[in-house]
Amino acid sequence: MTHTRFLLLHLAMVEFMIGCPILPMVIIAEQRLVSDGPWLCLVSVCLTMMSISVCSFLLIAIGVERYLAIMKPLRYQALVTAGRVIFVGFLCWGMGLVLGLAPLCGWN
């Protein structure tokens, strides 16, 4: 699997996560169809914030990877290794998780 495909796979996972479980939860929270109070709203905001931030970070990572492939073609293999791409992928998920969990910790 190429480096770009690895990052695109993570991006597809985030987009699937936005479309299937998060969007219906946001609709239910907005329409107030469930009487769970503010928790459902807070969880839906946290998951939405997490997924959007992960998506943004992954798009930045894909852009940087493509920039290096075009502008530094002779050093691309040395700069973009499989380990670095995996690290960046998990870093994007970690930063998104931290940003997404911030409202649950009281940062509104």
Structure tokens that stand for 102 in this block: 């911030």
Structure tokens that stand for 82 in this block: 């499989």
Q: List pLDDT tens digits, range 32-70.
A: 666 666 777 788 888 888 999 999 999 999 999 999 999
Residue 88 backbone class (left: φ over 0; alpha: ψ -120 to 50; beta: rest): alpha
pLDDT (0 to 100) of residue 35: 66
Q: List pLDDT tens digits, range 1-38.
A: 688 899 999 999 998 988 888 888 778 777 766 666 67
Q: Which of 63, 77, 78, 56 lies closest to 4, judged by CA?
A: 63
Evaluate if residue 108 carries a pLDDT over 80: no
- Count: domains in the chain: 1
Residues of the domain holding 71: 3-105
Q: At what angle do helices 38-71 and 3-17 cross, to 10 degrees?
A: 160
Residues 6+ apart with CB under 8 A from 21: 47
CA 40 to chain CA centroid, Å, is 21
